[in-house]
Structure 1
Amino acid sequence: MSVLDDIISGVRLDLAERAARVPLSDVRRAAADAAPARPVMPAFRSDALSVVAEVKRKSPSKGDLAEIPDPAALAAAYAAGGATAISVLTEERRFRGSLADLDAVRAAVDVPVLRKDFMVDEYQFHEARAHGADLVLLIVAALGDAQLSDFLALTAELGMTALVETHTAEEVDRAVAVGAELIGVNNRNLKTLDVDLATFGGLSERIGPGAVRVAESGIFTAADVATVAAQGADAILVGEALVRHGDPTAAIAGFIAAAERARA
């Protein structure tokens, strides 16, 4: 069993417990009653580098990263630095995230919020919308073609935007084939947890000009940002570097400036 398979197995167990407490019909109603999702693509298509800043306590590869006692305060600092969106880990077992974190961040900022989890069931999409998410993550490696297409359609039906994550050429081709507008290239192989910043550079052109290209994982410094920006990144998703930084507001502003210099 790969690391990804193991994580998803745990996600399904936790999902079954939540669904036993709150039936899908109730979650659907809560999603329908929620304020409309915020539009995100215009901001991602702007000339400046977009930064998706992550509220992330722990990871399977690095262990504990930061305590983050107040995710709302961290999210506000991200927004002050110019983050285009805030990503909130809600997976509990491996990342110590929660839907309560998503609620806290949603209440604290006006920028779009991404529910970052391993989406494998319709329930999770209604749940994300009910908790105020504007974006969700679809991991191509975790989904068959029919699931990917169906979940992309469900995301749009709920008014949200999908960040479709890839890490191989075949996965990029699948994301493009289903019409994904926001495609991430994860420099971390989710099956082995190895990281190679060159992964984005090798796959960026394969995405083509029709979709927004997001570089994910392995981005720690302004030099890293400049590298992926020069390779065509329209956006970056950064977690560890920001939660461990003493001044995440300044760090985000610095990343945006580094990308601007690299493109000049």
Structure 2
Amino acid sequence: MTILDKIIERKKLEIAGAKSRISLDRLKNSGFFERKTHSLKESIKNKSGIIAEFKRQSPSKGIINNNVGPLEVVSAYENFGASGISILTDHDFFGGNLNDILSVRNDIKIPILRKDFMIDEYQFYEAKSIGADVILLIASCLSPAQVEEFTALAHELKMEILLEIHTEDELKHFNSRIDIVGINNRNLKDFKVDLQHSVQLKNQLPKDVLSVAESGIYNLEDFQFLKEKGFDGFLMGEYFMKNTNPAKAFENFSVQI
């Protein structure tokens, strides 16, 4: 089994447990369920394009930063010009939880992406109930039909979709209703990074599709290379989170771009 296979197997158990504890009706009665969502598409067009991520750990890197809280980090991301915030909610492999979004939602006025392994409709209602604006769909976890179904559901709930792809074969998961396409520079099966591969995939997308480079952006040169190649957005987490003070790291980066 790949790491991704293990994550999905664990995710199925996690969802089953959540369904047994919290009903859909209870999710729909959340205080955030009826809030007006923010558009990541518009924010990427009008700001830096950076979707700055709060991430404690990952399967490939282990603990990245377990000493800072979500609010102090994402507030700085917003203050220094991030287009959006990405927050990991997977617990077992990334050290996140739903409360990481709940605890900052009232203080953050830019879009929040719930970054998780979304494989069940229940998770979309869950995301809406905690105040997420955008949902990540990972093509390697889903069929093209599931992507269409989940995109329709997200839109029904007034949330946007960021579809993540990594291979040429996954281009078939794209459909015209997708809001944003993220191209992961890191292969989720072996965790190798290849920026040039991502550029080649981007060039096969329709010209008017908003594209985001994800993962493996380790320095200003990587950022500039991807921007020159036409990427509209940049999902960056580890670059900031590996610092003792991620907020300061983002501030320093933001004045250089």
- Range class of TM-score, shorter chain: over 0.9
TM-score by length of 1: 0.91
- Contact residue 213 and residue 233 of structure 2 kept, 8 A: yes
For residues 201 and 100 of structure 1, what CA distance do their matches in structure 2 show? 35
Counterpart of 1:112 in structure 2 is: 111
- Contact residue 52 and residue 238 of structure 1 kept, 8 A: yes
- Structure 1 runs not aligned, ≥5 long: 258-264
Letter in 1 for 2:167: T
Going from structure 1 to structure 2, the CA distance change for 1:68 and 1:198 (only over 3 Å counts) comes to farther
Counterpart of 1:9 in structure 2 is: 9
Counterpart of 2:50 in structure 1 is: 51
Percent identity (aligned)? 35
For residues 252 and 156 of structure 1, what CA distance do their matches in structure 2 show? 33
Counterpart of 2:185 in structure 1 is: 187
For residues 159 and 31 of structure 1, what CA distance do their matches in structure 2 show? 15
Matched, 1:76 2:75: yes
How far the C-alpha of 1:22 sits from its partner, in A, is 0.5
- Structure 2 runs not aligned, ≥5 long: none
For residues 167 and 254 of structure 1, what CA distance do their matches in structure 2 show? 30
For residues 77 and 26 of structure 2, what CA distance do their matches in structure 1 show? 33
**SS at structure 1 position matched to 2:77:** helix
How far the C-alpha of 1:203 sits from its partner, in A, is 1.0
Counterpart of 1:98 in structure 2 is: 97
**SS at structure 1 position matched to 2:172:** helix
**What are the Cα deviations for residues 54-111 of structure 1, in whole angstroms up to 9, with x where unaligned?**
0000000000000143111100011112100000000000000000111112122111
**SS at structure 2 position matched to 1:164:** strand
For residues 207 and 45 of structure 2, what CA distance do their matches in structure 1 show? 11
Q: Which has the higher helix share?
A: 1
Counterpart of 1:207 in structure 2 is: 205
The count of aligned residue pairs is: 254
For residues 178 and 39 of structure 2, what CA distance do their matches in structure 1 show? 15
- Contact residue 181 and residue 212 of structure 1 kept, 8 A: yes
Counterpart of 2:22 in structure 1 is: 22
- Contact residue 51 and residue 252 of structure 1 kept, 8 A: no
Counterpart of 2:148 in structure 1 is: 149
For residues 227 and 206 of structure 1, what CA distance do their matches in structure 2 show? 18
- Contact residue 183 and residue 212 of structure 2 kept, 8 A: yes
For residues 139 and 252 of structure 2, what CA distance do their matches in structure 1 show? 30
Counterpart of 1:262 in structure 2 is: none
For residues 196 and 104 of structure 1, what CA distance do their matches in structure 2 show? 35
How far the C-alpha of 1:229 sits from its partner, in A, is 0.6
**SS at structure 2 position matched to 1:45:** helix
For residues 33 and 80 of structure 1, what CA distance do their matches in structure 2 show? 25
How far the C-alpha of 1:25 sits from its partner, in A, is 2.6
How far the C-alpha of 1:141 sits from its partner, in A, is 0.8
**What are the Cα deviations for residues 209-257 of structure 1, in whole angstroms up to 9, with x where unaligned?**
22111000110111000111111110000000011234233244146x2
For residues 19 and 4 of structure 1, what CA distance do their matches in structure 2 show? 22
For residues 85 and 176 of structure 2, what CA distance do their matches in structure 1 show? 25
Counterpart of 1:87 in structure 2 is: 86
Counterpart of 1:238 in structure 2 is: 236
TM-score by length of 2: 0.93
Letter in 1 for 2:21: R
